[in-house]
Amino acid sequence: MTDISDGQPQVEVRSSATPAGRIVIDNQPIEFFAGDTVAIAAIRAGQHPATGGTLCLAGDCGNCCAIVDSTPWVRTCQTKAKPGLAVLRQPAVGAPALNLTPPKSAVSSPIAAVIDVRHINADVIVVGGGASGTAAATQASADGHTVTILDANEGNEVVGIYAGPTVIVRTPEGMRHFHAHEVIVATGAADLQPACEGNLSKGIYTAGAAATLAETHIELDNALTVTSQPVRIVADDNGWVSGVVTADADGNDVLSDCNSLIVDLGHMGRDLLSRMTDERAVTIVGPAAEHYPLPPCPTSGIVCSCSKVTVEDLDGVWLRGFNELELVKRAALFGTGTCQGGVCMPYLRSFVADRAGSVPEPFTARPISRQLTIGEASAGAYADNFRMSPLHDEHLKLGAQMDRFGGWWRPWNYGDVLGEYWAVREAVSLGDVSTLGKMVVSGPDVVEVLERLYPNNVHDIKVGRSRYVLLLNERGHLLDDGMICRESETRFVLTFTSGGASFAEMWVRDWVETWGLDCHILDRTTSLAAINVTGPLAGELLRRVGVAEPPKFLQHRHETVAGVPCHIMRLSFTGEASFELHHPVHRSVELWQTLMAEGRALGIKPHGLQALFGMRLEKGHVIVGMDTELDSSPRRIGMEWAVKMGKPYFVGLEALKRVEPLPDHRRLFGFTMASPAPVEGAPIYHDGTIVGHVSSSFDSPLLGKAVMLGWIKREPFPDTVTIDGRTATVSAPPFYDAEGRRARA
């Protein structure tokens, strides 16, 4: 039986009050009073805040969503009106346009800098300031807890409860991240919405919405209240309710005229938020925890107003075998709009219960509960800075094009790659190698540590000498490479690649701890800068700045250079005589400027990574990460000479022993061919089949041909291959100065 009673019109008592301002809806100004939400201001002005649909005015459904201040899908019932606020209605059919214009504050500004974010440590958080929330808060307070109540009606919308429990809250002042000991969810109950034909009309309110309007002294025009599901709702040409059809005691349809319809159909637990979390320190109290009876199975109309799903749609998918709630949901896209099942779930469950004969569980609730923008979500995110060498500004002054490489800003070139190349090959050049990993290791067990860490021999490195080494992981795959310099019987300096340094530091420390050996580690990566002085005139430049007798190849020593204390390491990556000057970062600019000034007469030019990569390729030097892959073993990159399998132990030895007898089916080779050099990454063909790819390539100005490193991953390994449609010859590097005379000169 349907119970229809007359609505109780409220007397407008605010007539003497003055409006607080105007908002603009669809370019039409309307007045609002202090405390009004946008939705209430619209209703006060005789309008629907959107294009239709039952209003709950409680933030549960999505029927009042509009474009507020150019953000679509904002629940206007949760948005306070403020002077000048611009509101646009979204289209009744279809979706709002994807905004192509970024918000003014967003262009090239620090991410979401305008949104205030605070992290707050809290004891007890109570979500919901209604009867159950207040009771829970009072109790918790009596128990000695400090309680924070978050109420959506006061603008504190809880987005989600995440691990911790951490409660993310969207407030008018910004984002608040509460890190709580305990969370009590007291979100109360939501009103059931009507599910019948005509329920997208304007002028329909839930009982709760009607109560809210009454509190704000808004009088509904010719209102009628129904307490059971209408047969249908009738609307006029403008989409406003003009009547409601209900069934009388005999089941006959009865039409009652009205201009406003209040539907009082009962409640459902407002449990979206609590169902989204599985945190142990969350309790649910009051109506939110209650199991309300499901409404009768809907028979007509839109049952999911966000996705516009009708009962016919549900029947359609049900009859075609989508026979459980989750499948029905997904096939009909039911409950996948703004309300996320918040108000439509009882109807879906009731439908499935009717068809299947048993009541299904609600579908999974996933965060988030109350919407926030991507800007609001990102607010407060921290982004690490990219690292800069102490010589960064010097590079910029010299016109360097900077590039990020291995976590650092580095000079890619100084505008003249060829000039930089020839400066190294024929005169002298500086390279900023401050980014290299640098570590001092010392102590009684240091030799034992290094023998275990590195596959090469360490004990026979003489004091004052250095050696190139590979660093392997437990699988025997290449992690990094670098130099070992022996400073005394019990003290060494290690270098690592720029990108690998921070991992290497962790790696070395962890192994030392694991082995329990007596070895001290000092990472000097960022406290020391380093300049590589390289080229046939590098020794001459050093002499000019006070190094009477520069070290010989693979020697190293501590000496003052141009008044700056340096650790000079003689080695060679470019193929020419090279002296790495490691020195305190605060003396770096001075040293660089002195070397540049003194080198002017020798034709000095600094070189960037681009020239360096080419020069090292002429020498066949591998760059870890560019020429190597995740599973590159020393054998595969042709560096078995750097591995002493006869050692009792080193990290990776077991793995290398396991694969030693297995056939090797992939290997890094050197190749040469006529210029131009193919693009790095070019496939390598043999007999018409792809057998690998080029990992590095360079048009050697000196050799007048292309030199390459590349992988062949198919046996038998061929002598000639086809790259870029041309013949290339497998050729063991180095391609330039194979005897290493220039590096030793």
3-class SS at 710? strand
Binding to other proteins, residues 247-286 (CB under 8 A): 278
3-class SS at 513? helix
Stretch of 142-150, 306-314, 441-449, 512-520 lying at the interface with other proteins (CB under 8 A): 306-314
DSSP string, 246-272: EE-TTS-EEEEE-SEEEE---EEE--H
Residue 160 as a binder of other proteins (CB under 8 A): the answer is: yes
266: left (phi over 0), alpha (psi -120 to 50) or beta: left
Q: Which of 2, 21, 22, 73 is in the footprint of other proteins by CB under 8 A?
A: 73
Residue 381 as a binder of other proteins (CB under 8 A): the answer is: yes
Q: How far is the CB of 192 from other proteins (least distance, A)?
A: 22
Count of residues that interact with other proteins, criterion CB under 8 A: 87
Binding to other proteins, residues 170-209 (CB under 8 A): 177
Residue 719 as a binder of other proteins (CB under 8 A): the answer is: no
Binding to other proteins, residues 590-609 (CB under 8 A): 609
Residue 355 as a binder of other proteins (CB under 8 A): the answer is: no
Q: Which of 131, 597, 690, 738 is in the footprint of other proteins by CB under 8 A?
A: 690
Residue 506 as a binder of other proteins (CB under 8 A): the answer is: no
Residue 338 as a binder of other proteins (CB under 8 A): the answer is: yes
Stretch of 155-163, 447-455, 579-587, 638-646 lying at the interface with other proteins (CB under 8 A): 155-163
Nearer residue to other proteins within complex by CB, 205 or 363:
363
Q: Which of 36, 60, 197, 313 is in the footprint of other proteins by CB under 8 A?
A: 313
Residue 103 as a binder of other proteins (CB under 8 A): the answer is: yes
**What is the DSSP code (8-state) at residue 649?**
-
| Helices within 517-569 (DSSP H only) | 538-544
Residue 240 as a binder of other proteins (CB under 8 A): the answer is: no
CB 608 within 8 A of CB 574: no
Question: For strand 564-571 and strand 491-496, is the pairing parallel, antiparallel, or unpaired?
Answer: unpaired
Q: Which of 630, 641, 688, 704 is in the footprint of other proteins by CB under 8 A?
A: 630
Q: Which residue has the tokens 């949760």?
A: 78
Q: Which of 179, 665, 726, 744 is in the footprint of other proteins by CB under 8 A?
A: 665
3-state secondary structure 407-422: CEEEEEECCCHHHHHH
Site string (382-421) toward other proteins, x via CB under 8 A: -x-------------------xxx------x---------
Residue 489 as a binder of other proteins (CB under 8 A): the answer is: no
| Long-range contacts at 138-147 (CB < 8 A, ≥ 24 apart) | 140/182, 140/184, 145/182, 146/122, 147/123
Q: How far is the CB of 155 from other proteins (least distance, A)?
A: 16
Q: Which of 238, 320, 516, 687 is in the footprint of other proteins by CB under 8 A?
A: 320
Q: Which residues contact 144 (CB under 8 A, 6 or more apart)?
A: none
| Long-range contacts at 455-461 (CB < 8 A, ≥ 24 apart) | 455/634, 455/642, 455/643, 455/644, 455/647, 455/650, 455/652, 455/653, 455/656, 456/642, 456/643, 456/644, 457/644, 457/647, 458/484, 458/492, 461/486
Residue 726 as a binder of other proteins (CB under 8 A): the answer is: no
Residue 101 as a binder of other proteins (CB under 8 A): the answer is: yes
Exposure string over 305-343, b if 16+ CB within 10 A, otherwise e: bbbebbbebbeebbeeebeebeebbebbebbbbbbbbbb
Residue 559 as a binder of other proteins (CB under 8 A): the answer is: no
Nearer residue to other proteins within complex by CB, 688 or 704:
688
Question: For strand 578-584 and strand 683-686, is the pairing parallel, antiparallel, or unpaired?
Answer: unpaired
Instruction: Tell whether omega for the bond before 296 is within 30 degrees of 0, i.e. cis.
Output: no
Q: Which of 94, 516, 704, 716 is in the footprint of other proteins by CB under 8 A?
A: 94
Interior CA angle at 715 toward 713 and 718, to 5°?
Answer: 90
Binding to other proteins, residues 12-71 (CB under 8 A): 70-71
Residue 4 as a binder of other proteins (CB under 8 A): the answer is: no
Residue 709 as a binder of other proteins (CB under 8 A): the answer is: no
Residue 74 as a binder of other proteins (CB under 8 A): the answer is: yes
Residue 162 as a binder of other proteins (CB under 8 A): the answer is: yes
Q: Which of 215, 248, 393, 631 is in the footprint of other proteins by CB under 8 A?
A: 631
Residue 681 as a binder of other proteins (CB under 8 A): the answer is: yes
Distance CA 209, CA 193 (A): 11
CA-wise closest residue to 282 among 185, 172, 401: 185
